[in-house]
Structures are given as structure tokens and as C-alpha cells.
Structure 1
């Protein structure tokens, strides 16, 4: 997809990819919330639904690859099973599985309106992991932004607790999901070179590995049996929604990688935070919820801390880029000066007879 948009201006490409990410992500959240609500289908198998999303995503990858051989307008990279790539990308698949499991478990236990606050620590974990994994130091201003985000998160938890709607389990899953999202964005960027910078190929290998990672988990927690004995298993509406969730799950996996590729892991996390803020508003309106002023303030604090973080990191990265360019130019000038000195010295030497 990135190749087909290459003729467009870079800002427009970024806008289109980010907008697509928002639309697909918000749609997936509302579909999953409907599926995970036990009072509707009484499935009580959130991991089984998540596994179906991976299976459908894998089947879509294979189908589109086969279709591309016969339809000229479809142009996607070939995805043969390469066991070396499967092995190298397996750690990313484990993070991917953790990310989607904890996302769905958080969504199962909390409302869509709190989903934003519940997963608002992604930026904080991104700073932590960048320091410990990439060994990049963080400025005091960035740390202060993280403190603001944490304060907003705690205030939001407190307000949910006051109204009696807070789920400690949902809060824990939200924290774990935030950590996995931050890890995923970092490792995805690092692993893209092994698939020739192809998000499509990485999506294929990610879902291929994830399908197998899920199996022992589903056997261990007994969800296979619970799903087969579910009362609404023969309802076509259920399978239609599972199919839609799988389709959007496939799309979000690809678009997430695409957004990271055309921007950066940092921009991806900020885009996800801003999208979740808009999603919160939709959740409150759709479910006709009434929230206190302090509850809204917690959302504003988190959003303000995230936006300040974005501004500061952008300024720091721009300054670092200018500094590196200046150093490179200085190095080139020094080399030219040394070269000229050497030629001058050679000109003063007597010529050979």
C-alpha cells in the first residue's frame, strides 16, 4: 500500500494512513466490546475470539497473496513460509499475542469510555523501554510529562472507583496492554529489515506465529471446551461479528505497522493516544453515560501530558538532527582542509628528475 501511495506528498500519506488507523481501530473496539459482552452471547471466551481474529487474518493474507497472482491490480509481496524468518520474528509474535490478549481482556472488564484511561500508560512504558532496550536517555522535561500522564491515570481510576464502575482486573489488563503496545512498536521497527521493510510480510509471519502461540494458552485455560458448549454457537449473527472482528483485526495489524513505517514508534503511540481520546467521547455518547467534571479532567490531564510529550520529543529530535548534520558538515570541512594542506605540501617538494 505504501508503494501505491508513493506518488503523493509525504504529509498527505501520513494523514491518510493515520486516518485509516483511527477508523479501523475504533470500529474494532466497538465490535470487540459487543462480542466480549457476556450478557449478549454468553461466550466467556475472550481469548478464543482473539485467536479467531489471528486465524482469519492469516487466511486473508494467504488468500490475497493467491489472488494477486491472477488479478493484476492487487500487488502484494510473496509470503512463502521461511522458517528462519519465523524464528527471528517469533519474539515479536509473543508480544503481539500479549498485546491483543490484554487489550481484549481490558475491554471486556471496562467500558469503552474508560478504555482510554486504562491504556494511557503506553507513552510512559515507551520511555522506559527506550531507555532499557535502546539505551537512549530521556530529558527531565519528558519525565515530567510522564508524571503528568500517570497523575491523570490515577485520577481517572479514582473517579471510576467513586462511581463504583472501576474494575481492578480491567485496570491491570490495561497496564499490561500499554506495556505490550510500547514494546511492539519498538520491536516491529527493529524487525522490519528482515522482511525487506515489508509490513505485509511481517503481518503474515506475525499472525502465522501467533496462531500457534495461542493454542497451548487456549488448552490450558479451557476456552476450547467453553466455546463449543456456548448457547449461541449456531447464531449466524455471532459468526458474522467474529468474521468482522477478524477482518478488522487483520486490517489493524497491517495499518499499525504501516503507520509506524511512515512515521515512527513515537508518533504511532501518540496517534493511538489521541485516537483513544476521541474514542472515549464516542463511548460516552453511544452508551449515554454521565461523567463528572473531575472524570473529564483526568482525560484532559492525560491528553495534555501526551501532547506536551509529543512537542518536547519533536523539539529534541529536531535539535539532535541539526546537531548531527552540523557535526557531519564540520567533519567533511576538516577532511577537505587536510586534503588541501597535503596538496600544498606536495607542491613545495622538489620534483623528481
Structure 2
């Protein structure tokens, strides 16, 4: 139930930040990657406040091991933006669905994880649903395809590492994010000047700041902090694949929300695609819950057997040992 609440909260926050960011981009023309850097600055400050309030126990982690996961995030941000710049939204969404099989491949071949056939089959309606939402906007080009496919690889690696690093270092999501947020903020800040203005008009120091702009960007940063916290928690306590399924669900809700709130046009095929994607997500949830129940039942059965073996061992150890005189009497008899 707790996991379900966190998943729903992540979905609501993710949908909220899409519409808040849309206002940031359209009303004050704030650059995309700079806003991402602001998000991680807010996350860094938020994690420092959480540590000060003793919301998590500080754990010393090797910085050298944190740099790769921070770099994959920076690569994910850069390649996502380059993909959006070089491709249409439809092309971007279609190729993005390959992140899910990418995660399965990485976890299967490099981390020894296994996935049932039923879980793998849920990718069919999900991919078909996203395709129906985006096929009308498909336009391929070589450069855009390279950026998009590279983004899929880096994103898959990033999400897998968020899960694996928590296991490797025996740390929780907040302890990991406490290190990753400032490193990612620095990494994104270094590459921002290469792609976006900084001092000139349209940049962070060239934007005419007023109360409305400050409140809007601050709200986006606060929501991003909550989202980053929930992402790390979800991946650490479930799996990267589960989080990816939540991402497909968010995509459908964002399309529906754009239609309901901003009156964005939506066709019958898009509506059917949303329902198809939701059916795949629900099927995945159903199969995963059944698998978890079976695993829990097997674990409980194993614990029961172990307890019985311990009781038998304890009982045998408590039996009285015959004395030497008793053995002599029995021998003479």
C-alpha cells in the first residue's frame, strides 16, 4: 500500500511539473537545461535540509563511485534535449519506449536478473499504445536517430544504476541522492553554456526576473525535488522496470491532461492508444503482484522449514549424554 501511494504521488507530481514547466517555457522563455540545473540545485538544498532535520542517516559513500551515475544523468539530460531538438515529439516518444526493453537487457545480461514471459509480453500493448499516440508525428533523420538511441542506452543504464548502487553500497534512496544531486548539478552547469545562453537574453542571468517568474521557477524546483526523491525511492524499493512502467502511465496521463486543461487536440486513435497503454501497465502490475505473492509464499515456507530444522537441532542438543558408568553397565549386560 505504501509503495502504491508513492507511485501515485510520483505520477501526480510528474504531471504537475509538466504543466508548470510548460508555463515556465512559454511565459518567461526559460531555457530547458538551465531549468534542469536549477532543479538539481533545489534537490541539493532540499537534501541538506533533510539531513539537518535528521530525516535520514548520513552515510559516507565513495565519491569516485558516485561520479559515473551522475555522469549518466547528465548524459541522459543532454541527449534527451538533443533528441527533442533533432526529432519530432512523436519520434522522440516512440524511441523512448525502447528504454523498457533496454532495462530488461541490461539487468538480464549484466546483473543476473530474470523476467517472466508474461511480464515481457506486457511490452506489446504498451509499445503499441505509445505508437498510436505518436505515429502521426513520425519523422526520422540520421542525427536525431543517433541522439535518440544514445539517450535510450544512457537512460537505461542510469535507471539500472540507481537501483544497483543502493544494493551495492547498502544505502537507501536519500543517502544516494544526497551525493548524486550536487554532482549532477555541477555536471549540468558545466555543459549548459555549450547549448544554451547564460548571460545573453534568454539565459538565467539575462532573464528579467520578477516575483511571478521567481515563484514559478521556485515551484518547479520544489516539485522537481519531490520527484527526484520519489524516483530514487521507487527504483530502490521496486525496480527500474516498474518505474519505467509508471513512466508510460505518466505519458498517457500527460496527453489526456493536455487535452482537458490546455485543449490540445486528441484523435480517436490517440485515445485508443492511451487505453491500450494503460491495459499493458495494469497487466504488468497484475503479473508482478502475483509473482511477488508467490515469492513471498516461498520465502515464508522456507523460513518455516528453517525454524523447524532449528527446533529439531536444539532438541537433539538438549538430550542428556550417557555417563561412563552407564556405558560400562550397558556393555557388561
Report the CA distance shift for 1:56/1:173 in structure 2 as closer, same or farther (over 3 A). farther
Match of 1:192 in 2: 166
Give the gaps of 5 or more residues in structure 1.
1-10, 69-73
Shift of 1:210: 0.7
Q: Which residue of 2 aligns with 1:154?
A: 131
Give, in angstroms, the shift of residue 215 of structure 1.
4.0
Contact 1:50–1:101 under 8 Å retained in 2: no
335-344 or 182-191, which deviates more: 335-344
Distance of aligned partners of 1:215 and 1:179 in 2 relative to their CA distance in 1, 3 Å threshold: same
1:326 to 1:76, Cα distance in 2 relative to 1, 3 A: closer
Q: 2:55 aligns with which of 51, 54, 76?
A: 76
* Distance in structure 2 (CA, Å) of the matches to 1:340 and 1:243: 65
Cα distance change of structure 1 residues 177 and 135 upon mapping to structure 2, 3 Å threshold: same
Q: Does the alignment pair 1:52 with 2:56?
A: no
SS at match of 2:122: helix
Deviation at 1:151, TM superposition (A): 2.8
Structure 2: tracts of 5 or more residues without a match: 329-333
Aligned match of 1:92: 69
More moved, 284-293 vs 175-184: 175-184
Residue 180 of structure 1 deviates from its aligned partner by 5.2
Cα separation, 1, equivalents of 2:10 and 2:72: 20
- Measured against aligned partners, the alpha-carbon deviations of 1:73-106 in whole angstroms (never above 9, x if no partner) come to x4334658x5x53222222222333444555666
Secondary structure of 1:29's counterpart equals: helix
The answer as to whether partners of 1:110 and 1:170 remain within 8 angstroms in 2 is: no
How far did 1:171 drift?
Answer: 8.5
2:18 equivalent in structure 1: 29
- Displacement after TM superposition at 1:54 (Å): 1.5
**Aligned-pair CA distance for 1:58:** 1.7
Q: What is residue 113 of structure 2 aligned with on the other side?
A: 136
Cα distance change, pair 176–310 in 1 and its aligned pair in 2 (3 A): farther
Aligned to 1:248: 223
Q: Displacement, 1:47?
A: 1.9
Provide Cα deviations, 1:16-43, integer angstroms capped at 9, x if missing partner: 4334323322221122233345xx5455
1: CA distance, partners of 2:237 / 2:158: 16
Cα distance change on mapping 1:130 and 1:294 into 2, 3 Å: same
Note closer, same or farther for the CA distance 1:351–1:276 as it changes in structure 2 (3 Å cut).
farther
Contact 1:28 1:248 in 2 (8 A): yes
Contact map agreement 1:189 1:265 (CA 8 A) in 2: yes
Partner of 1:61: 47
Question: How many angstroms apart in 2 are the aligned matches of 1:283 and 1:173?
Answer: 26
Instruction: State the distance in 1 between where 2:147 and 2:254 align.
Output: 19
Alpha-carbon distance change, 282 to 174 in structure 1, aligned in 2, over 3 angstroms: farther
1:100-135 deviations in Å (ceiling 9; x for gaps):
455566677767x99876754444333223212322
TM-score (norm. length: structure 1): 0.71
Deviations 1:184-213 (A, max 9, x none): 443223323577644333222111111232
CA distance in 2, matches of 1:287, 1:89: 40
Query: Residues 35 and 41 of structure 1 are in contact (CA less than 8 Å); yes or no, is this contact kept in structure 2?
Result: yes
Q: Alpha carbons of 1:254 and 1:167: their partners in 2 closer, same or farther (altered >3 Å)?
A: farther
SS in 1 for 2:198: helix
The alignment partner of 1:227 has SS state of coil
Please give the alpha-carbon distance, in whole angstroms, between the structure 1 residues aligned to 2:15 and 2:148.
17
CA RMSD of superposed structures (Å): 4.1
Does the residue aligned with 2:54 lie in a helix, a strand or coil?
A: coil
